[in-house]
A and B are shown apart, each in its own frame.
Chain A
Amino acid sequence: MELGTVVFYAVAALVVVSAAMVAFSRNIIYSAFSLLGTFAGVAGIYVFLGADFVAAVQLLIYVGGILVLILFAVMLTHRITDVKITNRAAGRLPGVLIVGIFLALLIETIVETPWAKAKQIVYTPTSAAIGDLFLRNYLLPFELASIVLLAALIGAVVLARKELKG
């Protein structure tokens, strides 16, 4: 087996195992920290797919931003020392059954479908092309994105602030 193949399977295993930890762990702190493995592994998958800019964005926003937000929320909302099991789950057996059937159907579809093939698979730096498209074809979504982020920023501050009584 080639070295690249081995590394791909290692990264994919990291993603799947840590995602399974998120789904099955009994402690919410473990769940939150194994989310780090999933996000970093997905960034590695992007590198395999030749998407260098997206991989960097994934690391910056998911690992640096969203994960820290989630950890803060966990620490702020849980009296961790109070209860042994902080991350309860209900209806796990039917859930696993239904999701398992769904996964089998998805994989069946993926394997059976004849996907379109690109003329040639290239590995080139993408940031210049992405910046060009953002300011040309995708200018309106790009500007809308900034408004969405501003609205989310203000909304989060309004929702999370302490209510002043009296």
Chain B
Amino acid sequence: MEIGLTHYLVLGAIVFCLGMLTVLTRRNAISVLMGVELILNSANINYVAFAHYSSGGVDGQIYAIFVIMLAAAEAAVGLAIVLAIFQLFHTIDVGATETLKE
């Protein structure tokens, strides 16, 4: 069977589900952020696959670049928040921290 659009979409779906599982079950805030990165990567696979097989242009690739850019911003701010929470509570368990202030 020749590699086609379906293969890439199924790969994206598997990575998305693993990312969602990470976000749902992990108690560590950094692990939750890793799951978000997996989800963003799976969305990017779909964008680039559709750009290649369905539209034939590079617009999908441009959206993928914007998603990568926003993921970088999200990671920087998210990890800064995690560090601030760790300084305050000395834990980053998402179940143990309910407020951002003492």
Q: Which residues of A does B touch, CB under 8 Å?
A: 4-5, 8, 12, 15-16, 19-20, 22-23, 28, 31-32, 35, 38-39, 42, 45-46, 48-51, 53-54, 57-58, 61-62, 65-66, 69-70, 72-74, 76-77, 86-92, 95-96, 98-100, 102-103, 106-107, 110-111, 115-122, 126, 129-130, 133-134, 138, 141, 145, 148-149, 151-153, 155-157, 159-160, 162-163
Q: Are A99 and B65 in contact (CB under 8 A)?
A: no
Q: A129–B59 Cα gap in the complex (Å)?
A: 9
Please count the residue pairs between chain A and chain B whose beta carbons lie under 8 angstroms apart in the complex: 227
Q: Are B61 and A126 in contact (CB under 8 A)?
A: yes
Q: A83–B20 Cα gap in the complex (Å)?
A: 26
The CB with the most chain A CB atoms within 10 A, among B49, B55, B59, B80, is that of: B80
Q: Is the interface of A mostly helix, strand, loop or mixed?
A: helix
Q: Are B83 and A73 in contact (CB under 8 A)?
A: yes
Q: A58–B77 Cα gap in the complex (Å)?
A: 19
A-B pairs with the 7 shortest C-beta distances? A152-B73, A118-B56, A159-B80, A160-B80, A156-B80, A106-B13, A103-B17
Q: Which residues of B does A touch, CB under 8 Å?
A: 2-3, 5-11, 13-22, 24-28, 30-31, 33-35, 37-38, 41, 44-45, 48-59, 61-62, 64-66, 68-77, 79-84, 86-87, 92-93, 95
Q: Is the interface of B mostly helix, strand, loop or mixed?
A: helix
A42: which of B41, B72, B75, B95 is its contact (CB, 8 Å)?
Answer: B41
Q: Are A89 and B27 in contact (CB under 8 A)?
A: yes
A159/B66 contact (C-beta < 8 A), A53-B61, A129-B58, A149-B73 known: no
